[in-house]
Structure 1
Amino acid sequence: MTLLTDARVGGGVSFAFTERTGGVSRGDFASLNLGSSCGDDPAAVAENRRRALAAIGAGDLAGRLVCPRQVHGARVVGVTSSDDASVRAAQREAEAGADAVVCTARDVPVLLCFADCVPVVLVAPGGFAVAHSGWRGTMARISAATVRALCEATGAAAEDVRAYVGPHVLVDDYEVSEELAASFASEFGPQVVRGRRLDLSRAIALTLEEEGVAPDAVAWCAASTASSTDRFFSYRAEGGSCGRHGALACMRAGDVNGEARGL
């Protein structure tokens, strides 16, 4: 299993963007599919999630995993307590539909799943957040809403936030309709489009900068999911039949950090 992560994160936060290898799923979902709603065997998904959590030092916390039902919106769910009742309440709230989770509780792992959309992990003193930013979420500036929610939950300022943007479909592989390209150019400026090709990375960078996150506090994964299907799942490149890789994070009672690979 390969994890793309960053050893500089402190405060007990460990996070990773997974690749598609190292799991037990078969066929179109081979092998580390973390998505539970794409048609894979639930037992295989559970084992894959257990392996991914173990890789970031949270293998004992599978029952406490918060994994929202992603709805391509801009709703942010908060996890503020690690007691069992609060965790169950957060799990139910996330399953009702959300595209970002802010967590200030220790020993509560968070997972969001992807197959071309943009994973964004935010880390601040006292907490972290994971967001799913497809084109709808990017247009709705979910990354900005998540920064604000994280700062409110932790008391941090935006300049204290580090952002990590994971593997997603890059501009050269992302052709959209003329109408959508024009909408993004109107909303973010002409620099986010190249003809009919949409640069979600640039739109998210502009959003984070407008919200007060320093450009040099943002790390990027340079791989495009649509042209790297040996490493990542891609809904676009694989005709809609594929698994999901993940962005997952957890704040342990101790200072657990992954080895930096690939960002």
Structure 2
Amino acid sequence: MNYEIFISEKPQDGREIKEIKGIPVVTPVQVHGGEVSFVASVPTVPPISDGLITDSKKIWIGVLTADCLPIFLVGEGAVGVVHAGWRGTLKGIAFNAASYMSKFTRVKKAILGVSICGGCYEVRSDVRNSFSKEYSSCFTEVGDGKLLFDLKCANRVQLKAAGVEVIEDLNFCTICNNDRFFSYRKEKTKKRTLSAIRLL
């Protein structure tokens, strides 16, 4: 279970990082969906996907975020990375990625990366109404039809449903820790944080 994680910080724009330590980084075209792609090398055309899995030691796989939740998956001989905003979470991206990976290796743990926290992520009631009752504990009413949504809580529900027993949290928020990480909600920035993982 040897792996390495990389998370870019300000002022570096993660979109500009094409390699880390001389090893290429593969990022998908993210569409806030539920699709997962397997990559074994640098593709000629990036996959349209919000989850990547690899068993190659010759590439990093990464996602770009500025409030959405990056999730790292660690297995025996394989790693994964997920981009989970509320729409991707609604489509089951974390469950899909962990289930896909479980077909050929046990997912030993998931690591929740840098994202907006449950105390900062304000949504309208239509977002809560889109989710089933199993996610009700992930929402907190704050009045005037507004709620706080805990993305990490929602994705823990999915990871546990997919059989992932160990879930770690890096405990960084894009708004609380805005001095270090980009937040679209706070800054309306086009810059992104790169969260990447590779096998060693």
TM-score, structure 1 as length reference: 0.70
State yes or no: 1:221 paired with 2:175: no
Alignment partner, residue 14 of structure 2 = 34
Alignment partner, residue 26 of structure 1 = none
Cα displacement (A) at 1:136: 0.7
Query: Which of the two has greater strand per residue?
Result: 2
Deviations 1:206-243 (A, max 9, x none): 111111111xx1110222112221011000011x2241
* Structure 1 vs Structure 2 CA RMSD: 1.7
| DSSP 3-state at the match of 2:96 | helix
Number of equivalenced pairs = 195
Query: Which of the two has greater helix per residue?
Result: 1
State yes or no: 1:139 paired with 2:90: yes
Structure 1: segments with no counterpart, 5+ residues: 1-9, 21-30, 36-44, 54-58, 81-86, 253-263
Cα displacement (A) at 1:177: 1.1
Deviations 1:76-130 (A, max 9, x none): 11024xxxxxx24x35142xx2111100122111121110000000010010001
Q: Given residue 76 of structure 1, which amino acid in structure 2 is its aligned partner?
A: V
Of 149, 152, 177, 2:124 maps to 177
Partners in 2 of 1:126 and 1:91 — Cα distance? Answer: 24
Structure 2: segments with no counterpart, 5+ residues: 142-146
Larger gyration radius, structure 1 or structure 2: 1
After TM superposition, the runs of 4+ consecutive aligned structure 1 residues lying more than 4 A away are none
Alignment partner, residue 144 of structure 2 = none
Matches within 5 A, 1:65-76: 65-76=25-36
Cα displacement (A) at 1:150: 1.3
Alignment partner, residue 56 of structure 1 = none
Between the aligned residues of both structures, percent identity stands at: 25
TM-score, structure 2 as length reference: 0.90
State yes or no: 1:206 paired with 2:153: no
CA contact (8 A) 1:66 1:91 kept: no
Cα–Cα, structure 1 residues 249 and 147, in superposed 2: closer, same or farther, change >3 Å?
Answer: same
